[in-house]
A and B are shown apart, each in its own frame.
Chain A
Amino acid sequence: MHRNLLSILSHVCHGYVGNRACVFPLQCCGWDVDTVHTTNYLNHPGHGTFQGEKNDGRTISTIIEGLKKLFDLREYYNVVLVGYCPSAEVMTAVYEELEPIYKTKDRKEGPVFVVDPVLGDNGRLYVPEEVVQVHIDFLKRGLVDLTTPNQFEMELLTDTKFLSWNDVKSACYKFYDTYKVPDFVILSVLIDEQMYSVGFSASTETVFYVPIQEIRCRFSGCGDIFTALLTNEFYSNGRVLSPQVLTLVVDKLHRILLTSFREERARLGRDPDVIHDINLVRLRDLFERSFGGDLEVKYL
Chain B
Amino acid sequence: MKSLLSVQSHVAHGYVGGRAATFPLQYLGWDVDNINTVNFSNHTGYGHFQGSAIPEPELIKLFQGLNQIGCSYDVVVLGYIPSAELIDVVASEVAALKKSNPSTRYVCDTVMGDQGHLYVNNSCVDAYRKLLSTKIADVITPNQFELELLYGKPIDSEKLLRDAIAYMHDTYGVDHVVISSLDASVLNLQELQLICCAVSSRFKERSQEQSQLQVFLVPEIKSYFTGVGDLFTALLADKLFTNNGNLVLAVNQVLTIMSNVLKLTHQLGIKEFTQHYGEDSCERLAEGRMNDGESMRFFELRIIQAREFYDYSGAGEFSAIEISN
A: which residues have CB within 8 A of B? Answer: 2, 6, 11, 13-14, 20, 24, 27-28, 30-32, 34-37, 40, 42-43, 47, 49, 51-53, 55, 59, 62-67, 69-71, 279-282, 284
Contact = CB atoms under 8 A, between A and B. Distances in A.
B39 A40 contact: yes
- Interface-centre pick from A28, A52, A69 (highest chain B CB count, 10 A): A69
A120 B254 CA distance: 45
A80 to B, nearest CB: 12
B154 interface: no
Contacts of A55: 39
Contacts of B34: 11, 13, 20
B12 A284 contact: no
Nearest to B49: A66
B41 to A, nearest CB: 2
Nearest to B36: A40
Nearest to A16: B31
Nearest to B54: A40
Contact of A42 (B23, B54, B69, B297): B69
B39 A49 contact: no
Given A66-B49, A281-B30, A59 B39 contact: yes
Given A13-B34, A32-B304, A42-B62, A62 B50 contact: yes
A62 to B, nearest CB: 5
B23 A66 contact: no
Given A13-B62, A47-B69, A69 B272 contact: no
B52 A13 contact: no
B33 A14 contact: yes
B69 A43 contact: yes
A62 B41 contact: yes
Contact of A66 (B41, B304, B305): B41
Interface in B11-34: 12-13, 23, 26-27, 29-34
4 residue pairs, one from A and one from B, having the closest CB atoms: A66-B41, A66-B50, A42-B65, A34-B13
A53 B10 contact: no
Interface string B298-316: 0000001101000000000
A14 B64 CA distance: 13
Contacts of A36: 12
B61 interface: yes
A14 B69 contact: yes
Given A27-B304, A30-B304, A40-B54, A67 B42 contact: yes
A31 to B, nearest CB: 7
A52 B61 contact: yes
